[in-house]
Amino acid sequence: MKQALITAVLFDWDLTLARALGDAPFSKRLTALFNFVGLPYTESEIAAAIERVKAQSGLTNPRQVYPQTRRDIINHYYRILKEVGYKQRSWEFGNRMYAAYSHLPTSLYDDALPLLQQLQQQGYELGVISNHSTSARPLMEKHLGALVKSENIIISQEVGIHKPAKGIFRRALKKMRLSPEQAMFVGNSLPVDAIAAVAQGGFRLGLWLDREDDGRDRALPPRVYRITGLGQTLDYLHPAPPKNPPTPRPTHPPTG
């Protein structure tokens, strides 16, 4: 049976298409978030607290999986705040912190808009699946404009499911009226985005956006590939020429 063509490309949002405060480290983003909700800590205080939490957790790789659910992210924030002496804790204030991230100054990566425009021109349907707060929708719609339909933006808090769970990928496919074989997913987290899209969502391909280019030696499962820039997405949408094309047979004039 002939395999369906990829007709849609879906993306993660944060640190894939867009970033808060440019190339700022996580400590600067988190300091800005805490300051936004009225906690006047300095970046040096927050950076030191992050390192202590990492040491307590046994995390040596700063790129290990970051918490994905709203509850886990809020608990992570409170754990860091505890290290700087903040002892109060409430679910209401935790929700304010969770929503505050979308209010930080955010811009698209330089390679995001050109890729999205090219994909749209080539007729691909575009979508976003993001583990984010409901408050992020206006931000995404503002930056993505007419390139990604509003109904093709799936946000975890709105649907009550988070990546890497199967349900959020399937929800996006249903919304976009796609079969899994028609879709490819691109995201900056190997387990949460690229692997989960294939293993949980059944997507044809999952691309891991390794902007730091530090995963060259990582073994990847079938149908999961590593890229270092968004522009390389196009390489997986068009048939590649054979690596070793057959040598043409010599032709001889007819005899007799």
**CB 75 within 8 Å of CB 67:** yes
Pairing of strands 106-108, 18-20: antiparallel
What is the percent of the chain with per-residue pLDDT over 90, rounded to a whole number?
82
Q: What token pair was written down for 84?
A: 């700087």
Distance CA 22, CA 34 (A): 17
71-99 burial, b for 16+ CB within 10 Å, e for fewer? eebbebbbbbbebeeeeeeeeebbeebbb
Backbone angles phi, psi at 137, to 5 degrees: -60, -50
pLDDT over 70 at 253, yes or no: no
Name the band, by pLDDT with cuts 50, 70 and 90, for residue 67: confident
Q: What is the CA radius of gyration of the chain?
A: 22
DSSP bridge pairs for 106: 20
Burial class of 52 by CB neighbour count within 10 A (0 to 12, 13 to 18, 19+): middle
At 129 the pLDDT is 98
CB 89 within 8 A of CB 116: no
Mean pLDDT along residues 103-116 = 97
| Alpha-carbon span 145 to 141, nearest angstrom | 5
How far apart are the C-alpha atoms of 22 and 18, rounded to whole Å? 9
pLDDT surpasses 80 at 135: yes
**What is the spatial distance between Cα 54 and Cα 240, in angstroms, rounded to a whole number?**
43
Distance, CA of 120 to CA of 35 (rounded, Å): 38
- pLDDT value of residue 61: 55
78, two tokens: 């409170």
Task: Tell me the per-residue pLDDT of 176-219, one tens digit each, with 9 for 90 and over.
Answer: 999 999 999 999 999 999 999 999 999 999 999 999 998 888 99
